[in-house]
Structure 1
Amino acid sequence: MEEGLIQQRHQNDIDDPRVTTCVILSTFVAVCSSFSFGCAGGYTSGAESQIMKELDLSIAEFSAFGSFLNLGAALGAFCSGQLAITLGRRRTLWACDLLCIFGWLSIAFAKDVLWLDAGRISLGIGVGLISYVVPVYIAEITPKHVRGAFTSSNQLFQNCGLSLIYFFGTVINWRFLAIIGALPCVIQAIGIYFIPESPRWLAKIGSGKDVEHSLHQLRGRGADVSGESAEIQVMTKRLEEDSKSSFYDMFQKKYRRTLVIGIGLMLIQQLSGAAGVTYYSNTIFRKAGFSETLGSMIFGVFVIPKALLAVIFVDKWGRRPLLLVSAAGMSIGSLLIGVCFTLQVTLVLF
Structure 2
Amino acid sequence: MSFNGDLETDEDVKRPLIHQSNSWYSNSSIVIEKGCNSSQVPGVTSKESSTSALLCTLIVALGPLQYGFTNGYSSPTESSIMTDLNLTIAEFSLFGSLSNVGAMIGAMVSGLLADYIGRKGALVVASIPNILGWIAICLAKDSSVLYIGRSLTGLGVGIISFTVPVYIAEIAPKHLRGGLGTVNMLSITIGIFVVYLLGMFISWRHLAIAGAIPCSLLVLGLFLIPEAPRWLAKIGKDLDFEASLQILRGLDCDVSIEATEIRSAMELNRKESNIKSSELCQWRYAFPLTIGIGLLVLQQLTGISGIMFYNSSIFKSAGISDAEVASLVLAGVQVVMTGFIAWLMDKAGRRLLLMISSAGMAASLFLIGIAFYLKNHVLGASYLSSILALIGLLACIISFSIGMGAIPWIIMSEILPINVKGIAGSMATLANWSLSWAVTMTINLLLEWSETGTFMLYALFSGLTLTFVVLFVPETKGRTLEEIEASHK
TM-score of the superposition, structure 2-length normalised? Answer: 0.65
Aligned to 1:340: 371
User: CA–CA distance in 2 between the matches of 1:347 and 1:336?
Assistant: 15
Map of 1:256-335 to 2, 5 A cutoff? 257-289=287-319, 290-335=321-366
Aligned to 1:36: 66
Aligned to 2:457: none
After superposition, what is the alpha-carbon deviation per residue over 1:119-155, rounded to whole angstroms, capped at 9, x for unaligned? 1111111111111111111111121111111111111
Aligned to 1:214: 244
User: CA–CA distance in 2 between the matches of 1:253 and 1:32?
Assistant: 36
Q: Check if 1:70 corresponds to 2:111.
A: no
After superposition, what is the alpha-carbon deviation per residue over 1:272-296, rounded to whole angstroms, capped at 9, x for unaligned? 1111122222222233332123212
Aligned to 1:57: 87
One-letter identity of the residue aligned with 1:24 = L
Q: Flag as ranges the 4+ runs of structure 1 deviating above 6 A.
A: none
Shift of residue 6, structure 1, vs aligned partner: 11
Q: Aligned match of 2:230 in 200, 211, 219? A: 200
Q: Is the 8 A contact 1:39 1:158 kept in 2?
A: yes
Q: Is the 8 A contact 1:47 1:170 kept in 2?
A: no
Residue identity over aligned pairs, in percent, reads 40
Aligned to 1:89: 119
Q: Check if 1:16 corresponds to 2:18.
A: no
Which structure's relative contact order is higher, taking Cα pairs within 8 Å and 6+ residues apart? 1
Deviates more, 1:194-203 or 1:275-284: 275-284
Measured on the aligned residues, the alpha-carbon RMSD in Å equals 2.6
User: CA–CA distance in 1 between the matches of 2:376 and 2:85?
Assistant: 31
SS of 1:145's equivalent?
Answer: coil
Q: Aligned match of 2:151 in 108, 112, 121? A: 121
Deviates more, 1:134-143 or 1:289-298: 289-298
Q: Aligned match of 1:46 in 62, 76, 79? A: 76
Deviates more, 1:15-24 or 1:109-118: 15-24
Shift of residue 207, structure 1, vs aligned partner: 1.0
After superposition, what is the alpha-carbon deviation per residue over 1:147-192, rounded to whole angstroms, capped at 9, x for unaligned? 1111111111111111112223233211111221221111111111
Q: Aligned match of 1:172 in 196, 202, 210? A: 202
One-letter identity of the residue aligned with 1:15 = V
Structure 1 residues 214, 257: closer, same or farther in 2, change over 3 A? closer
Map of 1:97-116 to 2, 5 A cutoff? 97-116=127-146
Q: Is the 8 A contact 2:43 2:256 kept in 1?
A: no
One-letter identity of the residue aligned with 2:351 = R
User: CA–CA distance in 1 between the matches of 2:315 and 2:201?
Assistant: 16
Q: Aligned match of 1:151 in 152, 173, 181? A: 181
Structure 1 residues 125, 338: closer, same or farther in 2, change over 3 A? farther
One-letter identity of the residue aligned with 1:318 = G
Q: Is the 8 A contact 2:46 2:250 kept in 1?
A: no
User: CA–CA distance in 1 between the matches of 2:212 and 2:366?
Assistant: 35
One-letter identity of the residue aligned with 1:155 = M
Q: Is the 8 A contact 1:167 1:296 kept in 2?
A: no
After superposition, what is the alpha-carbon deviation per residue over 1:46-92, rounded to whole angstroms, capped at 9, x for unaligned? 21122122222212111111111111111111111111011111111
Aligned residues: 345
Query: Any gaps of 5 or more consecutive residues in structure 2?
Result: 9-39, 382-489
Q: Is the 8 A contact 1:16 1:145 kept in 2?
A: no
User: CA–CA distance in 2 between the matches of 1:209 and 1:120?
Assistant: 41
One-letter identity of the residue aligned with 1:269 = Q
Shift of residue 256, structure 1, vs aligned partner: 5.4
Shift of residue 254, structure 1, vs aligned partner: 7.0
Structure 1 residues 198, 259: closer, same or farther in 2, change over 3 A? closer
Aligned to 2:403: none
Deviates more, 1:50-59 or 1:254-263: 254-263
Q: Is the 8 A contact 2:135 2:209 kept in 1?
A: yes
SS of 1:163's equivalent?
Answer: helix
Aligned to 1:186: 216
Query: Any gaps of 5 or more consecutive residues in structure 1?
Result: none
Q: Is the 8 A contact 1:17 1:143 kept in 2?
A: no
After superposition, what is the alpha-carbon deviation per residue over 1:83-110, rounded to whole angstroms, capped at 9, x for unaligned? 1011111111111111111122221221
Shift of residue 260, structure 1, vs aligned partner: 3.7
User: CA–CA distance in 2 between the matches of 1:299 and 1:51?
Assistant: 23
User: CA–CA distance in 1 between the matches of 2:150 and 2:174?
Assistant: 36
User: CA–CA distance in 2 between the matches of 1:277 and 1:199?
Assistant: 38
Map of 1:127-142 to 2, 5 A cutoff? 127-142=157-172
Structure 1 residues 111, 298: closer, same or farther in 2, change over 3 A? same
Structure 1 residues 258, 7: closer, same or farther in 2, change over 3 A? farther
SS of 1:243's equivalent?
Answer: coil
User: CA–CA distance in 1 between the matches of 2:367 and 2:74?
Assistant: 23
One-letter identity of the residue aligned with 1:202 = L
